[in-house]
Amino acid sequence: MVFEVAATPDSAGFSIPQDYLPFQVNDRRPDFSLVADSNGVPDWDGDLVFDSHGAWKLWRSGGQYLISLESSNRKGLPYQIAYLDEGFSQGRAFTWEGMGELLPNYFPFSYPLDEVLAVNRLALGHGIEVHACGISDHGRGLLFLGVSGAGKSTMSRLWDAGEEVVVLSDDRIIITPRDGRFWIHGTPWHGDAGLADPGGVPLAAIFFLSHGETNTVSSLSPAQTASRLMARSFPTFWNQEGLGFSTGIATDVALTVPGRELEFVPGPETVDYVRRLLDS
């Protein structure tokens, strides 16, 4: 997916954050276009659709979607709102005018707005985002999924030391269907290892991580794999059609790509263990 961000003529300029620079493209047609206005948050209202109980909420307002972003600096008032069309293909984001003093060169398409938009766009027939690290090992896509603390960043560091290995992300990966196969793609939303790459590669194997005393693996049924994929995904609970599509993607992936549970001990032998397993 390609997202385009442009400021209004009377808005403050912004710089693209360092983590996003590798993902910058100039020769692709955007899937989503956002106009950014840094002159303040206008009066607004809407019907609450979903509360993340974190930094963002989703609303319906005048036939559009609206995302509000909050922080402690605004005492319950949003520092940014974004109006979005039904297809999540274009929108307009309004940012609190004091954000420039608080964060100079504030990027109006930063987390969590960028990820919330991506998740909604993916659910409209394009793919699914999962909590995982993704590895391209000599062009073979490996997906290591897990909750926080399961070892995704550790696994990413182990693989990153190898030749002809690319870590697509150590925390967030996007899965899309393409030419009868499933591909995994890197995102800028990395974890503790700080590893991310804009590349993509066909998915060859799925592992669900946990720490163990030895390196051991056990096979999972397609039903178990699909269920665990959904549990580690970012589904649109507020959109039944999108939720159905995400569930279908997870099921199709599980029927196509083997799923395994991997208990591992951090060390270079883990990489060799996984390669031997896949090559046998």
- What number is the average pLDDT over the span 112-129? 95
- Write down the pLDDT at residue 32: 95
Q: Environment class of residue 142 by beta-carbon count within 10 Å: exposed (0-12), middle (13-18) or buried (19+)?
A: buried
Q: What is the pLDDT of residue 280?
A: 84
- How is the chain split into domains, by residue range? 3-122, 128-279
Q: How far apart are CA 104 and CA 92, in angstroms?
A: 20
Average pLDDT over residues 128-143: 97
Give percent of the chain above pLDDT 90: 83
The average confidence (pLDDT) of the chain is 94
pLDDT in tens, 268-278: 899 999 999 99
Residue 189 C-alpha from the chain's centroid: 6
What integer pLDDT is reported at residue 84 of this predicted model?
A: 97
pLDDT at 195 over 90: yes
Report yes or no: 195 and 169 within 8 Å, Cβ to Cβ.
yes
Q: For residue 244, what are its two tokens?
A: 């159905």
List pLDDT tens digits, range 216-255. 999 999 999 999 999 999 999 999 999 999 999 999 999 9
- The answer for 75, left when phi > 0, alpha when psi is -120 to 50, beta otherwise, is left
pLDDT tens digits along 21-71: 999 998 889 999 999 999 999 999 999 999 999 899 999 998 999 999 998
3-state helix/strand/coil string of the chain? CCEEEEECCCCCCCCCCHHHHHHCCCCCCCCEEEEEECCCCCCCCCEEEEECCCCEEEEEECCEEEEEEECHHHCCCEEEEEEECCCCCEEEEEECCCHHHHCCCCCCCCCCHHHHHHHHHHCCCCCEEEEEEEEEECCEEEEEECCCCCCHHHHHHHHHCCCCEEEEECCEEEEEEECCEEEEEECCCCCCCCCECCCEEEEEEEEEEEECCCCEEEEECHHHHHHHHHHCECCCCCCHHHHHHHHHHHHHHHHHCCEEEEEECCCHHHHHHHHHHHHC
Residue 231 has a pLDDT of: 96
Q: What is the pLDDT of residue 119?
A: 95
% of the chain with per-residue pLDDT over 70: 100
Cβ contact 264:270 at 8 Å:
yes
CA nearest neighbour of 69 among 59, 84, 57: 57
pLDDT at residue 149, rounded to an integer: 83
In the predicted model, what is the mean pLDDT of residues 90-96? 96
Angle at 177 between CA 172 and CA 195, to 5 degrees: 25
Six-digit token string for 170: 């150590």
Q: What is the pLDDT of residue 82?
A: 97
Q: Given a cut of 90, is residue 95 above it in pLDDT?
A: yes
Dist. CA 203–CA 135, nearest whole Å:
9
128-279 CATH, one of 3.90.228.20, 3.40.50.1000, 3.20.20.70, 4.10.520.10: 3.90.228.20
Does residue 104 carry a pLDDT above 90?
A: no
Does the pLDDT value for residue 75 go beyond 80?
A: no
152-176 average pLDDT score: 94
